[in-house]
Structure 1
Amino acid sequence: MEVNEAALLRKPRGLLEVEQVETWLPGAGEVVVRNEAIAFNPIEAKIQRWEMFDIEYPAVLGYTFGGTIHSVGPGVDSFKSGDRVAVARWGRAASDIRFGAFQKYPLALEENLVKLNAHTPLHEGCGVMANLATVVAALSICMNLGYPPVNARANRNGKRILIYGGSSSVGGLAVQYAVDAGYEVLTTSSPSNWSLVQRRGASCIIDHTRPKEEILESIKEHGPYDGIFDAIGSSEVTLLLGEFFLASNGGTFWSTSPTPVDKDLPKNVRKQWASYSDVLVEEGANKEAKMWYLHEYLPESLSSGRVFSNPSDIVTGGLGSVQNVLDSFMDGKISGKKVFVNPQEH
């Protein structure tokens, strides 16, 4: 095996540094993956810039990736060397430097792998895996919305929801998931991404590049809603939804992320958020939903092409380009696409 390298975060709010790290050996229930596709999530940039979570340093960030299994540890019987897999860094792997996606040869837990068939691109598998788990947990577990059928669309149930950020990686999957579950979905997007959002089945798209007052008026006009999910998790969206609920005598919405302005929301407006993947895969009460997701819904939907990630933006430069990608998220330069880096590049 080649020398392992990682993009290390050595201190809070520091810049990533590409360095040689240990070549990991898989333990019981673990595999080593030749990482060929880091799938980026906005939360990783926020963790670096805002110190959102209490993590140990040096840290290797990154929560989703795809590649080929290089070696397997004791007791691994569902996978073998050479299998193509999508990986999510869930459970005990989340805080362990050995499992971080920003390296060439990370470890992965057998329970966090999804095997990909020969015609499913690595980018599609790892680009969807964690984002769609967030959607399942947020909409069906936390917000108590119904589950969709596998590879089909349910009949309309007469309920309407708002998903703010329908062209984002999580928001786009949330739109399709909710539509397939039978809901009428209203969402937001810039006009440049409308064709992508329409493909996912939204019934109405509000142009979020318009002035705030016009956005609020459009959201009010198309209500009321049986649920609101903020897939952006920014300060701007938090305050905008706070204004919407204030005018509607208060209420609750769910979001992908806390922000520095959450404390400024009106007292009758409640913003909820959670570590959604943990809700799905770690909480015992949701074991049935986890098994359905990992063994039925996700692999079958990927194989058929019904579930798909946003268009891929494959950034060249290997691990040396990871910091630039994170900066682009924080600078608002990424919209309507899913960003990937191949750490095997030099």
Structure 2
Amino acid sequence: MDNNKAAVIKEAHAPITVEPAQSYTPGTGEVLVRNEAISFNPIEAKIQKWDMFKSKYPAITGFTFGGTVLQIGVDVTSVKPGDRVAAARWGWTGGDDRFGAFQQYPLALEQNLIKLDPQGSLEHASGVIANLATAIAAVSICMGLKFPPVTGKAEKTGNKVFIYGGSSSVGGLAVKYASDAGYDVVTTSSPKNWQLVESREPTHIIDHTQSRDKVIAETQAHGPYVGYLEAIGSAEVTELMGELLSEKGGVFFSMSPTPVDGQLARNVEKKFFGYSEVLVSDPENQKARKWYMEEYLPEGLRNGNIFSNPILCVSGGLGAVQEALDLLYDGKVSGQKVVVNPQE
């Protein structure tokens, strides 16, 4: 194995610095991975720009990656060296730099990874492992809606769900997931991403490039809804959701807090969680976690029912990590999943 390198945030709000990093030996239940696909999430840009979680610095961040197993620790039985895997950084590993995705040779917990078929895409698998967990937690645990079958589609429930942001990574997965669970899904998209969003099988798509008043009117016209999810996490969409619900009041679930949350009407409640952690780390949800990691996700990747947004590869290895984060923070990514290969 070559010496490890990492993209490090040296202090709060600081830009990425690429530098040598510690080389790791996997312990009990741990796996050492040759990282070949860092999959980026918008919240990672906010963690850097806002110091969102008050991280301990210097920090190696990043939540999801895919690669090849190099070495396994004691008691690891599901994978062996040479296997291709996708991994997420859940639970206590979130505070341990050894498990950060922004490096060439991170560790992963066996319980937080899935083994891929030899032909399985590292980019697509790493692009969905945490984002789909977020969608499942939001829709089926936090909103209390039904789980879909492992394969195929459930019978129609006769109920509708509104998901703002059908072309986003989480939003698109949530649209397909809720549709497979039997719900009629109304979502939003720009004309540019219409075909992508249609592939997620919503009942109706609203052009979000219209005026806010038209988006709200069209959304209300296709209701009522048993749940509201906004998958963008911006101040602008928070304000829109507030106006949408202000007349009768209600709750919507969001991907991120924003500076305008305190300005919502008193009868409108916005809820935000670390959704994927709700699914995989809460003891009360261990049955759902097992279903997701051992049945639903592996089968969906194999049969093509689960797929990420089209991949946007940013070249340059670890030196491209800052570019990738800036693209997300500046809102320059639409209908794509940003990936960097740290081995370049």
TM-score, structure 1 normalization: 0.98
Task: Write out aligned runs for 1:320-339 (5 A).
Answer: 320-339=319-338
Aligned to 1:240: 240
Aligned to 2:267: 268
Moved more, 303-312 or 212-221: 212-221
Q: Runs ≥4 in structure 1, deviation > 4 angstroms?
A: none
Aligned to 1:89: 89
Distance in 2 of aligned mates of 1:75 and 1:183: 41
Aligned to 1:154: 154
SS in 2 for 1:155: coil
The count of corresponding residues between Structure 1 and Structure 2 is: 344
Instruction: Say if 2:78 and 2:115, in contact at 8 Å, map to a contact too.
Output: no
Distance in 2 of aligned mates of 1:218 and 1:11: 45
Read off the aligned partner of 1:85 and give its amino acid letter: V
Aligned to 2:134: 134
Distance in 2 of aligned mates of 1:344 and 1:237: 37
Aligned to 1:212: 212
Check if 1:35 corresponds to 2:39. no
Read off the aligned partner of 1:287 and give its amino acid letter: Q
SS in 2 for 1:38: strand
Distance in 2 of aligned mates of 1:136 and 1:223: 22
SS in 1 for 2:65: strand
Read off the aligned partner of 2:142 and give its amino acid letter: C
Aligned to 1:293: 292
Moved more, 70-79 or 295-304: 70-79
Check if 1:111 corresponds to 2:111. yes
Check if 1:310 corresponds to 2:331. no
Moved more, 292-301 or 271-280: 271-280
Distance in 1 of aligned mates of 2:8 and 2:211: 40
Distance in 2 of aligned mates of 1:67 and 1:92: 21
Aligned to 1:10: 10
Read off the aligned partner of 1:173 and give its amino acid letter: L
State the identity as a percent: 56
> Alpha-carbon deviation of 1:54?
2.3
SS in 2 for 1:325: helix
1:170-194 deviations in Å (ceiling 9; x for gaps) = 0000000000000000000100101
Instruction: Say if 2:86 and 2:115, in contact at 8 Å, map to a contact too.
Output: yes
Read off the aligned partner of 2:309 and give its amino acid letter: N
Instruction: Say if 2:230 and 2:255, in contact at 8 Å, map to a contact too.
Output: yes
Task: Write out aligned runs for 1:28-67 (5 A).
Answer: 28-67=28-67
Aligned to 1:166: 166
Aligned to 1:78: 78
1:184-205 deviations in Å (ceiling 9; x for gaps) = 0000010010101111101111
Distance in 2 of aligned mates of 1:9 and 1:70: 26
Instruction: Say if 2:38 and 2:341, in contact at 8 Å, map to a contact too.
Output: yes
Read off the aligned partner of 1:276 and give its amino acid letter: Y
Distance in 2 of aligned mates of 1:92 and 1:135: 21
> Alpha-carbon deviation of 1:33?
0.3
> Alpha-carbon deviation of 1:131?
0.4
Distance in 2 of aligned mates of 1:176 and 1:278: 21
> Alpha-carbon deviation of 1:255?
0.7
Q: Is there any run of 5+ residues in structure 2 with no aligned partner, and where?
A: none
Moved more, 302-311 or 217-226: 217-226
Could you say what the CA RMSD is over the residues aligned between the two structures, in angstroms? 0.8
